[in-house]
Structure 1
């Protein structure tokens, strides 16, 4: 069977965070909510303070008497406003979103909270000057936009990227390893969508560039935010011929191999890659990645 569907919603797409968009432009409501609000501090590495395996939130008023100029409004938890701020001096037990499922206990609300905070704070770090006129920008709408001195408003950027499971229509799947990854760690092939390009054409181009294969039967599976720093991962599957020679044109991929379904199932059974046996021929991405969900869905097929 050449086609399959996701058997679960990707982890970062399950968020239950109420973003409360109607409050972002209501400065008075934000000020009134600040007194009882909770604050998340995050450093430039995306790390937050952890208490008992859970994300530690503090009273927002410990930061300032009213919403700080560089704080971003994430949403609400019932009647409680939730904010985040960049703090590169936080100390204590730290963890990050990539550790979810391993050392950090996160539910769907927690993953949404962290992924939104990372994406917004990363964008603010890079958007302090207007792309239109070069003048300084200031935080507006609770951190969901920045406005220049001339009044030009800019919004958080999202970079679309495709990620594709290539299989042979049967029992084998093609996985690749980047040069910077540990030995044995393989994942799906991925790349950013270029200007003027459709998602399907991007899948074709990236796979040809990265491993030299031609694919057919391109099918959309699902999506997931990937705030490292600001991507939206769009998942696909496609069929290729295992007999076609693999060539590495763009230099991103160190090696790629065809693995059997049995090998993939064994690697999945080993758990999170960081805790798996390093001598294994195949380690797979952690549960936080849509790649894991796609691979699990393919491996579950008979």
Structure 2
């Protein structure tokens, strides 16, 4: 049986009072702005903000930020595909208007060139101060309401490890070593694939200038984590911090 999932223009997801995504047996009214096939039995519908809010209200639920579903592959894929569907109107190579295949996923330009959903690789990681059981957390200038791990996008010509080393140096002024892969997570709100690492540093204090992207950087011990606003559940940052806190 085919299920339908409505998603608002900013990726907002109507959920039940229990916080579960609302799936429908038929497309809800009014009709969607965009439609994409997420899987053989799931169709995602891009709807207006007003329609998304009305669906949530009718079910006694609410609208949930797409970042809440970072560990939910199905919802993350739906948000990412609808984001692509709404952003691509012209072929970036020749400027011709695009049409979409029947699944709503692949765009086709005037010369027949296929345009697939873009995924931007990004790195994020847990940096521990050698021998001291403290990790490096920071507040971003654009998201200063909580502390998270150091992260950034991969630059042209870099591998993932090089990107993480560079981001830590640029943002915090610290040098790291022992970079080790931890895991990965799709991050649909920004069209990213977050690749997580762990690393060590002996630089308690910065040894170079920083780029100003972070408004506060601090070393945090396990007992101190409970008193800080942290990256929300569902994010790879939250999972990495939680794993470190519980590893005693």
The answer for the alignment partner of 1:98 in structure 2 is 67
When the two structures are superposed, what TM-score results if normalisation uses the length of structure 1?
Answer: 0.72
How far off is 1:181 after superposition?
3.0
How far off is 1:250 after superposition?
1.9
Deviations 1:13-45 (A, max 9, x none): xxxxxxxxxxxxxxxxxxxxxxx5322111112
**Separation (CA, whole Å) in 2 of partners of 1:178 and 1:149:** 41
- 2:143 partner SS: coil
Q: How has the CA–CA distance of structure 1 residues 118 and 248 changed in structure 2, closer, same or farther, with 3 Å as cutoff?
A: farther
The answer for the alignment partner of 1:287 in structure 2 is 233
Q: How has the CA–CA distance of structure 1 residues 44 and 148 changed in structure 2, closer, same or farther, with 3 Å as cutoff?
A: same
Which residue of the other structure, out of 94, 107, 126, is the alignment partner of 2:87?
A: 126
Q: How has the CA–CA distance of structure 1 residues 141 and 257 changed in structure 2, closer, same or farther, with 3 Å as cutoff?
A: same
Superposition pairs of residues 54-69 of structure 1, within 5 angstroms: 54-60=20-26
Which residue of the other structure, out of 13, 29, 38, is the alignment partner of 1:74?
A: 38
Which residue of the other structure, out of 10, 13, 21, is the alignment partner of 1:45?
A: 10
How far off is 1:262 after superposition?
2.4
Which residue of the other structure, out of 85, 93, 108, is the alignment partner of 2:45?
A: 85
How far off is 1:242 after superposition?
4.0
**Separation (CA, whole Å) in 2 of partners of 1:94 and 1:196:** 39
Considering only aligned residues, what root-mean-square deviation do their CA atoms show, in Å? Answer: 2.4
Q: How has the CA–CA distance of structure 1 residues 64 and 99 changed in structure 2, closer, same or farther, with 3 Å as cutoff?
A: closer
Contact kept, 8 Å, 1:219 with 1:237, in 2: the verdict is yes
Deviations 1:241-298 (A, max 9, x none): 243326662221001011112223xx2xxxxxxxxxxxx4x22112210011111222
Matched residues, number: 237
The answer for the alignment partner of 2:216 in structure 1 is 255
Superposition pairs of residues 189-228 of structure 1, within 5 angstroms: 189-228=150-189
**Separation (CA, whole Å) in 2 of partners of 1:122 and 1:296:** 30
Contact kept, 8 Å, 1:212 with 1:249, in 2: the verdict is yes
- 2:6 partner SS: strand
The answer for the alignment partner of 1:174 in structure 2 is 136
Contact kept, 8 Å, 2:34 with 2:45, in 1: the verdict is yes
Provide structure 1 residue ranges, at least 5 long, that are not aligned to the other structure. 1-35, 102-107, 268-279
RCO comparison, higher one (Cα < 8 Å, 6+): 1
**Separation (CA, whole Å) in 1 of partners of 2:30 and 2:224:** 54
Contact kept, 8 Å, 1:242 with 1:258, in 2: the verdict is no
Deviations 1:167-191 (A, max 9, x none): 01331111111123345x2110000
- 1:55 partner SS: coil
